[in-house]
Amino acid sequence: MLKCSECQRDLPEKEALVNKNEEGEQRIICPECFQKLTGVDYKTFAFRKENAKQTLWAVLFCLAATVYAFMEKGVEWGIGGIVLTVLVYLFSSKAK
């Protein structure tokens, strides 16, 4: 059992969240205190973080494909790749 640094409540290890404060010190907080401190529950935070990672990989893949298309197929395909990359970024970052 661990203790929450904010509310001093006992919580099991699987519920404990490790956080760093402004001074760089690690502290253990419970999900309820995480929501009080950030204004967002932890599941939503984790979902947004994973969505940001997937968006980054999709945009990097599209950029690599755009460079390849520009070099191998010409300017028209390169412009199409740029448009596709922008659309992937816009639509994937809109998920809430």
Residue 94: what pLDDT? 66
What sign for the dihedral angle of Cα 37, 44, 28, 53?
negative
The confidence score (pLDDT) of residue 95 equals: 52
DSSP designation for 16: -
CB 10 within 8 A of CB 3: yes
Please list the rounded mean pLDDT of every run of 10 residues in the chain (96 residues). 84 82 83 84 84 88 93 92 90 67
Of the candidates 42, 31, 22, 41, the residue with the CA atom closest to the CA atom of residue 2: 31
The SS3 of residue 6 is coil
